[in-house]
Amino acid sequence: MVPMSVTATQRRTAASEAWVLIAELVASQRSRTMCVCSEFDLAPGQLHALKWLDPESPKPMRDLATALACDNSNVTGIIDRLEDRGLVQRRPGAHDRRVKMLVVTPKGQALRHEIKARMEEAPEPLLRLDAEEQRVLRDLLRKALDR
């Protein structure tokens, strides 16, 4: 590996500059996420878990751990709390009895729907772009993410 020291004067790729701005945009919206958490009385881990779970297709706990980039034992606690509130249920896997599938209850689906609607509202900086610019931005991100 080539040792690389990034100095103030060194050229940086446009992709890297874009990434830094994206990180800044997301960081500036952190308080909004925390507001949603406290509004629905969910810890951040619980919020992300509920948002990631798919009401139409139960997922094994293992996959949730991967999605949250955390350990299995961590998911146990998060799901314990969501289950205590009646938002999700554990069901034995059909083909592999070691696996527990995570099902979102109707109550959980309603809450998930509200959360997603709130989180998907565009932040103020993106609304400063005009309609055409917003579309170009969206299309570039779609292309990058292969959507």
Partner DNA sequence: TATTGTTATACTCTATAACTATA
Partner DNA sequence: TATAGTTATAGAGTATAACAATA
Residues lying near its own copies in the complex (CB under 8 A) = 4-6, 12-27, 30-31, 34, 48, 67-70, 113, 116-117, 119-123, 125-129, 131, 133-138, 140-147
- From 44, 86, 123, 125, residue interacting with DNA (rule: CB under 7 A): 44
Q: Which of its own copies, DNA, none lies near 143, with the C-beta cut-off 5 to 8 A by kind? A: its own copies
- What is the smallest separation between the CB atom of 95 and DNA, expressed in angstroms? 7
Question: Can you say whether the dihedral through the CA atoms of 74, 56, 101, 112 is positive or negative?
Answer: positive
The dihedral built from the CA positions of residue 90, 40, 34 and 138, taken in this order, carries a sign that is positive
Binds DNA (CB under 7 A): choice among 76, 123, 127, 135? 76
Handedness of CA 110, 114, 119, 120 (dihedral sign): positive
Identity of the amino acid at 24:
E
Secondary structure letter of residue 128 according to DSSP: T
74 binds DNA (CB under 7 A): yes
* Single residue of 9, 13, 14, 71 touching DNA by CB under 7 A: 71
48 Cβ contact list (under 8 Å, min separation 6): 68
Q: Does the footprint of DNA cover residue 118 (CB under 7 A)?
A: no
The tokens for 11 are 């050229």
Which residues are near DNA by CB under 7 A?
Answer: 34, 38, 43-46, 60-62, 65, 68-81, 90, 93, 96-101
